[in-house]
Amino acid sequence: MPFFHFSQNNSGGFFIENDRVQSHVVVEAANADEANARAEEVGIYFNGCYIGEDCDCCGDRWYSVYSTEAEAVPSIYGTPVERFKFKGYDLGAWVYYSDGRKIGYGAALDAHDPNDLDDDADLRREIARGSDGRASINSYSDWLRY
């Protein structure tokens, strides 16, 4: 069964991170329609600007997937999730399997040391998470360097 990747846009300048969604969500499903339906079950929503959830200037937080985006293994931008380098805005991922399993990956999920994001100091990002589950870049200058 194929896997479908949902990437979260930081609409409004923040990410929603919790026990159901991260900056990336990967869903195993028979087809794109089923993947979109399962994504909605875990808290992903579509057309966020239209329904007033997302910032009009930043755009929708989530976009539905299409059948042409199917991957044979759980992947983020075509890279298997186990090998994906989580850094910058790519904070973490939840992978939802068709058998009901859910596995987390990435710095936001403590899969590796969040201070070891990148050896290049110009690319390092200070990630701050508040009690509301939102993650943001600490300063405007960090935003500009990204």
Kind of pairing between the strands at 24-28 and 3-7: antiparallel
- Extract the runs of DSSP E, i.e. beta strands, from 22-114: 24-28, 75-76, 79-80, 93-96, 102-105
Q: What are the structural domain ranges in the chain?
A: 3-145
Q: Position 5: which residue type?
A: H
- Asked if pLDDT for residue 140 goes beyond 90, the answer is no
Tokens of 60: 């929708």
For 109-118, the pLDDT digits (tens) are 644 333 444 4
Q: Give the residue with greater pLDDT, 17 vs 98.
A: 98
Residue 101 neighbours by CB under 8 Å, 6+ apart: none
